Amino acid sequence: MNIITCVAPVNIAVIKYWGKRDEKLLLPLNDSISATLSVQQMHAKTTVMASPGFKEDKLWLNGKEETVHNQRLQNCLQEIRRRAKQNEDDKVNGVSNWYAHICSENNFPTAAGLASSAAGYACLVYALAQLYNVTGDISGIARQGSGSACRSLYGGFVRWHQGSACDGSDSIATQLAPHSHWPEMRILVLVVSDKRKKVSSSSGMQNSVKTSELLKYRVSHCVPKRTEAIIKAIISKDFDTFADITMKDSNQFHAVCLDTFPPNVYMNDTSHAIVNLIHAYNSASGKTKVAYTFDAGPNACLYLLEHEVPKLVSVICQIFPPENEGVQYLQGIPVEKQAVSQEFIASIGMEPQQRGLLKYLIHTEVGPGPQILSEPHHHLLTEAGLPK
Ligand code: DP6
C-alpha cells in the first residue's frame, strides 16, 4: 500500500492567461505571471493511494464521489503513469500499473469563486508524482488539468512560458523568485457577494479567442512588453511598477471579456466600487500603495506591502461594512487595528456603501509551493482506501 497526502497553494495572476492555442493540450496564447499564496490560509489538500487490490481509479471531491471519466483528470493520470513506467524496473507489476483512489478537499469555499481548480490540479499532480515516483518538471502535467494549475507547483513568483513546441513540452512554469525574495508582499482577497452564475474560464476564453479582436492585440502587443517589465519590477522589488502593470493587465483582461461576443461580464458593481476605492486610496496617499486584480469572477485580490495593511483594512471596513458586526470579517493573518484620520477618509471621497457587499476578507502572503504532509492523521483516506 502506498499513500501520500499533500497540500498545494492557490496562485493569483498579475499577467493573466486568457486564450488557448491548443484546447486539448491546454496551451496558452501568451505567457502569464503569478504569485503563489501561502498554504496557511488557502489550499487544496489531496490524499492519493495506490494498491494492487484496487479494481479501478476512484475520486472524491469535497466529500462527494465524482466520476474519473473526465478528460482533464485522465490527461493527468495517463501522463503521470506514462512517466512512471519509464523509470520503473518492473514494468509489468510496478506501482504504475496499480489503480489509485484520490480524495481531495479545499479549505476555502469553492462557492466563493476562488481559484480552486489551480490548487486542486496542482495538488493532485504533485501527490501522484510522489506516489508513482515521477521526477523532473511536472508543471506541464498539471497544465493539462487546468492551465493555471502549472503555476501552483512553484512557490513565490512564477512564470508560465507559453512555449512554441506543438506537443506542449516547453509550455511549463518556472520560478522567477522564491517567496523569501519579497517577504513584505501581502495579499487581501475580498470575497464579493454575488448570485450570478458565472461562465467558466474555459468556455469564456474559448469564445474570446473566437470573437475578440482586442485579445489578438493584447497577445501580440501588450503582454510581451508587460511580462518583461513586471519581471524586472519583481526582481528589483519595485512596487510602483508591479502595481501599475498588475492593475492595467487586469483591466485589459476584463476589457477583452467585454469585447467577447456575447460579452463575458465577470466583475459586478461591487468589483467596480473596489476599483474606485483603490484608485482613490492611492491618490489620497500620493503614491501607489495598493494594486487590484480580478480573475473570472467578481472577487478582488489586492497586492500591497505589509506596512500598509492595517490602514487599508481599516478603510475597507469603513467603506464596505460587514452585513453584521458579529461575523469574522477579517480572516487569515491577524491585523492590528489602526485608526485612520477623518481627513484621510474625506480625501478618499467615497461614502460608506450598503452593508454586506463583501462577505469577508482573507489576509495572506506569498508562500512556497506544494508540501507533503507526512503524519498519518493528515490522510483523507482510511487504510481501506475510503474517505475518512
Ligand atoms: C482568469 O486555468 O481556470 O484565472 O486552463 O481552461 O482550466 P483552464 O482555465 P483556468 O483559467 C484561469 C484564468 C484566469 C487568469 C489566470 O489565472 O491567469
pLDDT tens per residue across span 219-260: 999 999 999 999 999 999 999 999 999 999 999 999 999 999
- Check pocket membership of 16 for ligand 1, CB cut-off 6 A: yes
Mean pLDDT on 130-147 = 96
Pocket test for ligand 1, best of 10, 12, 17 (most atoms within 8 A of CB): 17
pLDDT digits (tens, 9 = 90+) for 31-74: 999 999 999 999 999 999 999 999 999 999 988 999 999 999 99
* pLDDT surpasses 60 at 218: yes
Cβ(304)–Cβ(290) below 8 Å:
yes
Cα 126 off chain centre by? 16
Q: Where along the chain do its domains lie?
A: 2-178+370-378, 185-365
The ligand 1 atom at the shortest distance from the C-alpha of residue 200 is 3
Distance between CA atoms of residues 116 and 43, nearest Å: 8
Distance between CA atoms of residues 55 and 205, nearest Å: 37
pLDDT digits (tens, 9 = 90+) for 23-32: 999 999 999 9
The whole-number pLDDT of residue 94 equals: 81
- Check pocket membership of 312 for ligand 1, CB cut-off 6 A: no
The whole-number pLDDT of residue 193 equals: 81
The whole-number pLDDT of residue 177 equals: 98
Could you tell me the distance, in angstroms and rounded to a whole number, from the CA of residue 107 to the centre of ligand 1?
A: 20
pTM score: 0.96
Pocket test for ligand 1, best of 29, 201, 257 (most atoms within 8 A of CB): 201
Query: Domain 2-178+370-378, what fold?
Result: Ribosomal Protein S5; domain 2 (3.30.230)
Could you tell me the distance, in angstroms and rounded to a whole number, from the CA of residue 148 to the centre of ligand 1?
A: 5
Helices marked H in the chain: 71-87, 116-131, 139-142, 201-211, 213-217, 223-235, 239-259, 269-285, 309-319, 342-348
- Check pocket membership of 146 for ligand 1, CB cut-off 6 A: yes
Cα 261 off chain centre by? 26
Could you tell me the distance, in angstroms and rounded to a whole number, from the CA of residue 322 to the centre of ligand 1?
A: 30
Query: Which of 80, 61, 90 has its CA nearest to residue 128?
Result: 80
- Which residues contact residue 294 at a Cβ distance below 8 angstroms, ignoring those fewer than 6 apart? 250, 253, 254, 266, 267, 271, 300, 301
Could you tell me the distance, in angstroms and rounded to a whole number, from the CA of residue 156 to the centre of ligand 1?
A: 18
Query: Domain 185-365, what fold?
Result: Alpha-Beta Plaits (3.30.70)
Is the ipTM above a cut-off of 0.85?
A: yes
Could you tell me the distance, in angstroms and rounded to a whole number, from the CA of residue 108 to the centre of ligand 1?
A: 18
The ligand 1 atom at the shortest distance from the C-alpha of residue 145 is 7
Q: What cell does 175 get?
A: 520560478
Of 107-116, 333-342, 374-383, the range with the lowest mean pLDDT is: 107-116
Cβ(137)–Cβ(160) below 8 Å:
no
The residue behind cell 466529500 is: 63
The ligand 1 atom at the shortest distance from the C-alpha of residue 72 is 7
- Check pocket membership of 120 for ligand 1, CB cut-off 6 A: no
The residue behind cell 493573466 is: 16
